[in-house]
Chains A and B, each alone.
Chain A
Amino acid sequence: MDQIERRAFMKGAGLGALAFTVGGAEILLTPSEARAQGVPFRLLNANEGETIEALGETLVPSARKAGIAHFIDHQISVPAEEALLQARIFNVRPPFANFYRAAIGAVDRGSEKVTGRKFAALSTTDQRDFVNNMRQSKIEGWTGPSGGFVYTILRSDAVDVVYGTMEGYAALGIPYQAHIVPTKRW
């Protein structure tokens, strides 16, 4: 990340916006805006994005629309020391893309073993049952990072995207008291 992009990223992080590439130019967008504008993923492929969105929506309502896949895709593409992911707090070893790819693969393989279909193709009820079993590490034949750990990390990401915004705080009726107050709402 060069200095200009770094400055844009740091400024954007304060506003909740991130630097996305649109038409060859870096612009600041929220993950939700990036999703709505169909900004291409940097590292994830379409299937991986679909699985993350389905997982996020199962964990926290509105996570898909809030842009959880674009948020994670962006954050795994920046230097690990600048990422806002909870994976850092949980001592996941960078590069974080490796963890997310392993987690997505484990979820889809587990889902196919149990139901014959990938996670995103399951009904809402089946997705919920699968995630509850994953939390308790009860998916038969599960391979990859532990189900409970995948649950914790993805749930934290979904909570971040939906509730970790000024609008998210306002919706809950609690004051947004940042150490450094953003210059405008987003």
Chain B
Amino acid sequence: MIRFRNRRSIFELFFWNTGAAQKPINLRGIANVRPDLIGKELDEFLNGKARGLSRITAICEALPKIENRIELTSEKDEFGFPLVCINHTFDQGAVGLWSAALDEGVEIAKGAGAKEIWPGAPQHLLGGTIMGTSASNSVVNSYGQTHELVNLYVAGCGIFPTESSVNPTFTLNALRCAAPNNSQRTGAASQVESGEGNRPGRR
């Protein structure tokens, strides 16, 4: 179900993802519904809730912010390359959308008869090596080719300027296919760096 927070705008959308299978383990597992619990309390929580628990997830759009960026730091890795620092904050619109989605999610859960509700935290940032028209406003062009190095392509989620209201898996695949095609067209040797999830690309 896709919802519009502001019907006058094509932005500020969110999408409900419901009924996902859940395991007790892993990042989005049942044990991490209450990451603060340990010991006997965690054991009681898992034994008491595992059979009656469901998760609903709001995937919220956010608009690009020029202030969100990746910077090189003075710290070096074991190969002598500088490490990166991620600077990211949500703007008021994104926070408002998330709050509205949370309120609606709580309403839905209560309507379904939930006895207890545990809100989660935002995940999955995109960006870092974003697509644009020049090096002054972005890192790569529409093919994922870096503006400053013609033989370097980026084909991960880093080229999206921000997160959308749906997971961009298929778009990402299309872009991944476009990168080597363009490389062949232009004759440039390419190094394709691929990735998924919330791993901003490195320059």
Contacts from A to B (Cβ < 8 Å): 58-61, 86, 89, 91, 93, 128, 131-132, 135, 152, 155-156, 159-160, 163-164, 168-169, 171-174, 177
Interchain CA distance A38-B177 in the complex, whole Å: 51
Q: Considering the chains assembled together, what is the distance between the CA atoms of A117 and B42 in angstroms? A: 26
Task: Report the minimum CB–CB distance from A106 to chain B (whole Å).
Answer: 18
Tell me if A58 and B38 are in contact (CB < 8 A): yes
Q: Which of B16-69 contact A (CB under 8 A)?
A: 21, 23-27, 29, 31-32, 35-36, 38-40, 42-43, 46-47, 50-51
- Band of interface residues on B: 20 to 34
Contact yes or no, B25 A132, CB < 8 A? no
Docked complex Cα distance between A174 and B52 (Å): 10
Main secondary structure of the interface of A (DSSP, over half): helix
Given contacts A61-B43, A163-B46, contact A169 B38 (CB under 8 A): no
- CB of A39, distance to nearest CB on chain B (Å): 23
Q: Are B24 and A60 in contact (CB under 8 A)?
A: no
Q: Is B147 an interface residue (CB 8 A)?
A: no
Min C-beta distance of B96 to chain A, whole Å: 27
Residues in B with CB closer than 8 Å to A93 are 77
With A159-B24, A173-B50 known as contacts, the answer to whether A59 contacts B39 (CB < 8 A) is yes
Interchain CB contact (< 8 A) of A60 among B23, B26, B35, B42: B42
How far is A171 from B51 in the complex, measured between Cα atoms in Å?
A: 11
Asked if B38 and A159 make an inter-chain contact with CB atoms under 8 angstroms apart, the answer reads no
Partner of A61, one of B21, B29, B39: B39
- Residues of chain A contacted by B27 (CB below 8 angstroms): 86, 89, 156
B43 touching A60, Cβ below 8 Å: yes
A86 to B42, CA, bound (A): 19
- Find the A residue at minimum CB distance from B198: A91
Taking the complex as formed, is B199 at the interface, i.e. its CB lies under 8 A from any CB of chain A?
yes
